[in-house]
Structure 1
Amino acid sequence: MSNNNDYLKSPDLLPITHDERKISAFGFSVIWIGMAIVLAAFAIGAAGIVHLSMPMLIVATLVGSVLIGIFMVLIGDIGVEHGLSFPVYMRAPFGTIGTHLPSLARGFTASCWFGINTYFGALAINGILNILFGFDNWFLCFLLFAALQLFNTSLGIKSIERFADLAAPIIILISCWMYATLADKAEAAGKSVWSWVESPTTGMATFTAFMIVVMANMGFWATLAADMPTLSRFFKAPANERNWFKRNKTQLVGSLIIMPIVNTFMIVIGGVCYMAVASADPINALQQSASGFILAILLLMIVLAQWSTNTSANVIPAATIFSNIGGPRVPFWVGVVIAGIIGTLSQPWSLFEMLNSVLLIIGGILTSIVGILFADYYLLRRRRINVQGLYEANGQFRYLGGFNLAGLISWIIGGIIANIFPTYSSLIGFIVGAVLYYILAKYWWFKKYPQQELLDPDDRKYLGITVGKSWTIEPYVEPSFVPEITQKTSSEVKQQ
């Protein structure tokens, strides 16, 4: 008979031990290249170039990329230190049941991103088939491409890294070609890439346009900033290393160097795309810039780009969250299917048209979660966590019926205030979420529900890889049914 803890112990949600961590700094950098080559980023560049020059657009993108990269690395230490995924650690600031609410927001957002990227990939596949066979049905291509990606993701984390190894160098080449071709097209139309602005602004209006690009970039990657532990728990890291920077070397290289560079390049291409064809649609731009066999090859690279992005950044985090919500009876592969269904029902072909406005809203909602995680992990618990308790339905993280009201109140208020000031949504969401949670948890909630790691801050008990510890939790295994008539005692067997 199962006990009340079973639903918290799905095998996909158990801590990753030190020996199971296989992704190196180079491997994560390659994954980041695959994740950051995402065509939806063109929308930010296209909207930004309307009011900003290309140099200003680049600076704004780098600022936003580095800021959200810092959030990623800070929160990613949860995975590196303890081997825990995002939805499992969220049981600490939100409760064993309350974790499902912000987790659903993250999982739903990731699923929508899956839909948008699949839409672009489907348009590219449809273009290839149209060139080769005269076939034209993008929606059928969408369904088939979605199914293929979901199957690949179900194979596991290593299949993603191997796929990114193949796709990344090819994707870089195609991106360079797109920039050169679209820049020539823009120049031919009399638009200087480095000085043209469609609607120039001055003073405060320029600063507002600058900050909107910064916040749009932060909102673009806010889902991964909150959910980085789900990926970082697979990163190689030295045991017994107390230096935070050395322990997080893999993260630092990928999220603060590779991602800002590649992301900025994609935003630049989006800006040039708008100059060249007055549209943020990359497939449309390609079809106006190439033809025949060359176009088919370029479109194939687009397909690879969307595939490598979706697996790491969208489907895996969403599937892990849905698996956590459903418990051990919802395995990872079922979570993958759920993510695919949501991504399709979100109608990504319509969602892309209003992407920039959506990003400002998403940024505030999700960075308030990041702020709460930061305050809980660094400011209150000082990186110590009762990992065993995270898997106990009636342990210290049950709080009030499974809910940590300090976390839920901070998230709701943080998200609302952030969206009152959308120009600064991601920064406001983080600050309000962190400050409010720190005050409510320390001076109210944790007085009602004492936390072991705060009462007894012993590194040996509550730290992970820093003290050379790998957390191990016995997984839930569904018992097999054995008919009572076949159960014999050893004495009965001997008598027969």
Structure 2
Amino acid sequence: MKKSHLKSPDLLPIHHKDRTITKLGYSFMWVGMVVVLATFAIGGAGVKSLSLPWVILATVIGSLAIGFFISLISDIGIEHGLSFPVYMRAPFGIIGTHIPSITRGITASMWFGVNTYFGSTAMNGILNILFGFDNWFVCFLIFAAVQLINTALGIKSIERFADLAAPIILIISLWMYVSLSDQATAAGREVWSWVESPVTGGAAFSAFLVVIFSNMGFWATLSADIPTISRFIKAPKNEKNWFKRNRASLIGNLVAMPLTQTFMIVIGAVSYIAVLNADPVVALQKAASGFILAILLLMIVLAQWSTNTAANVVPAATIFSNVGGPKFPFWAGVITAGIVGTIVQPWQLFDVIIQVLLFVGGILAAIVGILFADYYLLRKRRVNVTELYENHGQFKYMGGVNLAGFIAWIIGAVASYFVPNYGFLVGFIIGAGVYYVLAKYWWFQKYPQAEIVDPSDEKYLGISVGRDWVIEENTYETVMEEIPNNVDLY
């Protein structure tokens, strides 16, 4: 007898009473998550070819589009209280879930490292101003440790920090914009009309689309595993209306995120216009000094902290915990995320960040498409949740693998690779389409799914029918071992 590998306490469905993130709290989490180095980089890259108003329009379009996809996938967590790696057992199998999940976990860990490096340079700047200390790597290690401890304390600790950091971030961001704009004017560049290398016609349209899909690719990672966060969002019981049930998620994804994303893109663009560098830390160090500079850099530190805990460490730690099983708790996953985020040497990654965004966005977009097809088109939001935690249940498929999911993922990812500028859209559509056809007309014919055969709301819906999914975590699986012939049983 051994404890079931699928029933780690950190991966069980979240009950209604344990959902603590409010509408405001979720929106504040978005404020912090958006302020990252790569966001500024998109703005800086955009104004090389387009004027700032066109960059803003493309950002709004891209942010609203990805916010819509995030909201769709969020319902998995809100309706059933399930995390990303657990629900992935449905389209990929109880064993197969580990491969795409680990892909996302490593990506999240890499982003943790990149953001920690960005924040550590700002922290180093503050310490240098106040105390003459100058060692960014020591700052990196300290900053990483503080963030990991904050995450290990749980989702409520993360929300409380976001509530504290978000107003400070917004106030300092406004100050930062004014400072950078003045610096650009002093350099003889008009913020709203300056373009480094103007393009027209088809080239302008292509540049416009690159900004749109860079914004979409940027959040493709979170759109895949948003259930890991959304399962903690407060939602009304017995609410069948999708929009009312997901109200808190929609406000964060379609209001707070697009507004903050657009403003930070503007700061990155203005930073580039001012000093030809999209990194506002570099720009501000040329424009300010002393206590004022320290305050501006504090915003960068707070923002990276808020971003990493919610958008990177929580998803990565949950995924690593899922792979490790009951003996590998959430806090161990947090430490693993920190180690991976450090050994990839994130200080070497910034120069290729846009290309990485587009490439990874396409790969993960196929997973988002598969999740959408599985949850909405095939199961129609009904999920046989208890079977997700059973080693020999309906999600075991063929040796624990759903081939329909893997084939769709490979085809969608490869297709997105050949059109990187439009990777998210191509990956999503092809991933969803291929999975729907293969699952409906092939795989689920071989392996019938109870919620599809009997689409009962009362049996297979969650919070919208007032249900908290209860999984008996202290159950065990029997391990059969062959008894040697020469053993005396008596």
Question: Structure 2 stretches of 5 or more lacking a match?
Answer: 477-490
Match of residue 137 from structure 1:
135
Deviations 1:107-133 (A, max 9, x none): 111111111110011111111121122
Contact 2:213–2:358 (CA<8 Å) still a contact in 1? yes
| Residue matched to 1:233 | 231
Counterpart amino acid of residue 438 in structure 1: Y
Counterparts of 2:172 and 2:360 in 1: how far apart (Å)?
A: 30
1:2 aligns with 2
Residue 85 of structure 2 corresponds to 87
Q: Distance in 1 between matches of 2:299 and 2:67?
A: 26
Of residues 195, 198, 202 in structure 1, which corresponds to 2:196? 198
| Structure 1: gaps spanning 5 or more residues | 479-496
Contact 1:407–1:437 (Cα < 8 Å) also in 2: yes
Shift in Å at residue 173 of structure 1?
Answer: 1.1
Given the alignment, which residue of 70, 84, 94 partners 1:72? 70
The aligned counterpart of 1:396 is 394
Alignment match, 1:21: 19
Paired residue for 1:100, among 98, 106, 109? 98
Within the candidate set 156, 164, 170, 1:166 is matched to 164
Letter in 2 for 1:339: A
The one-letter amino acid paired with 1:170 is: I
Matched, 1:43 2:44: no
In the alignment, what sits opposite 1:367? 365
Residue of structure 1 equivalent to 2:55: 57
Amino acid at match of 1:97: I
For 1:328 and 1:52, locate their aligned partners in 2 and report how far apart those are by CA, in whole Å.
51
Select which of 239, 248, 251 maps to 1:253. 251
Q: Please point out which of 263, 272, 275 is paired with 2:273.
A: 275
Q: Is the 8 A contact 2:34 2:257 kept in 1?
A: yes
One-letter amino acid of the counterpart of residue 103, structure 1 = S
Deviations 1:393-419 (CA, angstroms, capped at 9, x unpaired): 111101111110100110111011011
My pick for the range that moved more, 194-203 or 129-138, is 129-138
Q: CA deviation at 1:476?
A: 4.4
How big is each residue's C-alpha offset from its partner over 1:359-392, in whole Å with a ceiling of 9 and x where there is no partner? 1101100111000000000000000010000000
TM-score normalised according to structure 2 size = 0.96
Match of 1:465 in 2: 463
Following the alignment from structure 1 to structure 2, what is the Cα–Cα distance between the partners of residues 17 and 465?
9
Q: Distance in 1 between matches of 2:43 and 2:475?
A: 49
- Deviation for aligned residue 1:38: 2.1
Q: Deviations over 1:162-199 (max 9, x none)?
A: 11111111101111111111111112222111111111
| Percent identity between the two aligned chains | 67
8 Å contact from structure 1 (residues 384, 459) kept in 2: yes
Give the deviation of 1:305 after TM superposition. 1.1
Output aligned runs, 1:356-435, within 5 Å: 356-435=354-433
Contact 1:154-1:336 at 8 Å conserved across structures:
yes
1:328–1:476 Cα contact (<8 Å) kept? no
Q: Choose from 115, 118, 139 the match for 1:117.
A: 115
Amino acid corresponding to residue 400 of structure 1 in structure 2? M
Give the 3-state SS of the residue equivalent to 1:241 in structure 2: coil
> Is the partner of 1:354 in helix, strand or coil?
helix
Name 1:217's counterpart in structure 2. 215
Cα deviations across residues 427-446 of structure 1 (Å, max 9, x unaligned)? Answer: 00100000000000001100
1:43-102 superposed Cα distances (whole Å, 9 cap, x missing partner): 101111100110110011111111110110000000010000000000000000111111
- Aligned partner of residue 199 in structure 1, secondary structure: coil
Is residue 11–residue 476 contact of structure 1 (8 Å, CA) maintained in 2?
no
CA deviations over 1:279-308 (Å, ceiling 9, x no partner):
122211111111111112222222111111
Cα distance in 1, alignment partners of residues 181 and 354 from structure 2:
23
**Mean Cα deviation higher: 320-329 or 28-37:** 28-37
CA contact (8 A) 1:39 1:266 kept: no
Cα distance in 1 for residues equivalent to 2:269 and 2:144:
28
Q: Which amino acid aligns with 1:2?
A: K
Query: Any idea what SS the aligned residue of 1:329 has?
Result: coil
1:346 to 344, 347, 357: 344
In the alignment, which residue of structure 1 is the partner of 2:435? 437
Distance 1:56 1:477 in 2: 58
